[in-house]
Amino acid sequence: DVERSRGLGDVYKRQDILAFRERFNLTREELASMLGVSWMSIYRWEKGKVKPRLIALKGLERIKQELERKNKE
């Protein structure tokens, strides 16, 4: 599923999830709240212990678009 989600590739790798948080100045807790997951899930994704599910990747993409739109305003 993840391989077919080409538009989500930029937030798939574990270091990219950390970069995503840093880019938008989000804590693990804040991002977790936005995605409806635990902060521990974010931690595990960043450490490469588990990979985010497709629904979480779609959520990251949605959040990215919303935050980019806000930053342009």
Q: Tens digits of per-residue pLDDT, 10-27?
A: 446 777 899 999 999 999
38, amino acid identity: S
Task: Write down the pTM of the prediction.
Answer: 0.78
38 backbone dihedrals φ, ψ, rounded to 5°: -85, 160
Distances (CA, A) of 33 to 4, 17, 39, 42, 61: 26, 15, 8, 10, 15
Summarize pLDDT for 36-47 with one digit per residue, the tens.
999 999 999 999
